[in-house]
Chain A
Amino acid sequence: MSKPDQTAAISGELLNSLIDGQLVDDERQEILAALEKDKELAEQVCDLQRIKQMTRLAYDTIPAPYPNDLPVRRALWPRVAAVLAVFTLGLLLGLSDLHQQGSGAQPGVHQAQAEALTRVLVHLASSNSESGLSTLNNLERMLQDYRAKGEEVQVEVIANGHGINLLRAGTTPFADLIARLSNEYENLTFAACKSSIDQIEITEGSEIELLPQARLIDSGVVEVIERQKQGWNYIRG
């Protein structure tokens, strides 16, 4: 490979622009005409083209961590319409206070009450055990607090990236704590991102075993977004 002549009439910047398709027609024609007359310049262009190709190809062998056939999200509108219908029914029945507990309430009101639950999403993206412990302790205090107040709360912990290690059997230092919390609180669930797990398995060359309390989800990030769109409160662990 020869060194480009930065002092040539046609600069290195222009040669790069040529191989990147960034020139307008006139400029391109002008440089192509010059290349026909100047063999050294033509070699420089070939070198640049080769380097560009090598850069592109260099990352093709990196395993792709995400599935190409992502599931298409279900349309929100039917669910939104259903919730609006429930609220409308509640209002018509004079039951606008959805927090009020009533044994004789209509089924639709129960559903509306469910919609009024406090829902919390805890996102674990780091394997840092110190912050993991702090997150789980805070989580337990929050669950105790809601239980003491007699208010309902639903909590889901979603782990992805390095956070998977906190739900990984044999790796996490919190297996007992998670098992205990899961036993004590039916309203607490754990989920692990399959994309991240696939990536770790490719990197480590061995299969990952999750804690029995953790369920698998296709994509942690999509789940986090969807839950937030549904009104879940987001806490980064």
Chain B
Amino acid sequence: MFEKRKRHQKLTRELCANRNRFYKLAYSWTSDPMLADDLVQESMQKAFMSFDSLKEDAKLNAWTCRIMLNCYRDWLRRQKDTVNVDDYEFADDQDPARSFSQDDTSAMVRHCISKLNDKHRNVVTLVDLMELSYDEVAQALEIPIGTVMSRLSRARTQLRSLLERQLREPATVHPINLRRVK
């Protein structure tokens, strides 16, 4: 019992130390700071209560990503009566009246990532923001590792096309995607 509590304390410390990283991941999925915060809080709470089901402590981050993804999918499902999940467009953190400036590369990249479909976005953010291995991404998303590799390749190719388009058309005004909130 003492060992179990010590293990839980260690895992809790590790998770808490990574909260800002999980927040960035959640933000990359939602483009909404408050929703990202909610996602992190909810998924960490679930993780804290389920440490016993974590088989390998070394996989803590991948396991928590899986929980967060499930929380996010649950949230999307709860919006079903207002928005068709399949048609769901991710909110963009850009001001609609503002065009990208040369020094606003980060915002432009975030805008392009928000335009990826969720399968591609999930893989690229888990690899680049959470720095998970392909094997960990495969476990987190419950897909074969070959699918991780092909999705990642397609995601980066698409991301490059989107970035090229943005760079070619710097004055483009990007309409914000509206989301109905209950």
Query: Interface of A with B (CB < 8 Å)?
Result: 1, 3-4, 6, 11-13, 15-17, 20, 22, 47-48, 51-52, 54-62, 64-66, 68, 70, 72-73, 76-77, 125, 128, 160-162, 195-196, 199-200, 202-203, 220-222, 224-225, 228
Contact = CB atoms under 8 A, between A and B. Distances in A.
Chain B at the A interface: mostly helix, strand, loop or mixed? helix
Chain A at the B interface: mostly helix, strand, loop or mixed? helix
Contacts of A200: 34
Contacts of A59: 24, 27-28, 106, 110, 129
Interface centre among A22, A57, A196 (most CB of B within 10 A): A22
Interface in B17-51: 17, 19-20, 23-24, 27-28, 33-34, 37-38, 41-42, 44-45, 48-49
Contacts of A125: 38, 41-42
B101 interface: no
Interface residues of B, number: 47
Name the 10 nearest CB pairs between A and B, nearest first: A58-B109, A12-B153, A161-B38, A64-B20, A59-B24, A13-B149, A55-B128, A66-B19, A221-B41, A58-B106
Contact of B37 (A12, A56, A65): A65
Nearest to A2: B160
14 contacts: A4-B153, A20-B152, A51-B156, A56-B129, A57-B105, A58-B105, A58-B113, A59-B27, A61-B106, A61-B107, A66-B19, A70-B16, A72-B13, A161-B41
